Amino acid sequence: MDWPTLSHVAPWHWWALAAVLLILEVLVPGVFLVWLGIAAAVLGLLVALLPLGVPLQLLLFGALSVVSILVGRRVLARLPHSAEADQLNRGAARLIGRTVVLTEPIRHGQGRARVGDGVWPVQGADAPAGSTVRIVAVQGTTLLVRPDGAAEALSPDRAGGSEFR
């Protein structure tokens, strides 16, 4: 039974740590211990293969954690995810492409249209009440429309990208 000290850490210590981290990940909410666990497991492999000092091991552990997150995000982004997930909680964006009928005329670019059983504020070219328009984009709670027939879709609102790309 050799406990890890500041002068000696065996590969199996890292693997034990990896297992403990993964167990904690399941028990404790918040998805970030899994990356440390992956880093610990990889480091255990490195320590088994290469002679490394304890301080270096510790620094490597930190570095590997960061790397594992960055790599992990890439891998996750590549993995196919279900189309249903994209359809959930899209707010007003789910309405893009629908044709709706104006309840109030669009004057000075502002009007209202009936969507489902509710009425939404719309913005677009002036049009009389009762005319049909197509929703092309969404700004908060306002729908951007254009007369039906001119179905040239605008790009939907900005995608929230990451700063780490």
**Structure tokens, 35:** 């990356």
| Cβ closest to other proteins, residue 94 vs residue 150 | 94
Task: Assign 106 to helix, strand or coil.
Answer: strand
Shortest Å, Cβ 49 to other proteins: 20
Nearest CB to other proteins, comparing residues 103 and 131: 103
Q: CA distances (Å), 37 to each of 10, 33, 71, 103, 111, in order?
A: 16, 6, 14, 58, 55
The conformation of residue 111, written as its DSSP 8-state character, comes to E
Q: Is there binding between residue 32 and other proteins (CB under 8 A)?
A: yes
Residue 120 host element (H or E): strand 118-123
Interacting residue with other proteins among 16, 22, 24, 92 (CB under 8 A): 92
Instruction: Give, as ranges, the residues between 62 and 91 that touch other proteins (CB under 8 A).
Output: 62-63, 65-66, 69, 73, 76, 85, 88-89, 91
Contacts with other proteins in 127-156 (CB under 8 A)? 138, 140-142
110 makes contact with other proteins (CB under 8 A): no
Q: Are 141 and 120 in contact (CB under 8 A)?
A: yes
Which of 155, 165 has the CB closer to other proteins?
165
Using CA atoms, how far residue 22 sits from 18, 46, 77, in Å, is: 6, 19, 22
Strand stretches in the chain, DSSP E: 99-107, 110-115, 118-123, 132-139, 142-147
List interacting residues with other proteins (CB under 8 A). 6-7, 30-32, 35-36, 54-56, 58-59, 61-63, 65-66, 69, 73, 76, 85, 88-89, 91-92, 117-121, 138, 140-142, 160, 162-164
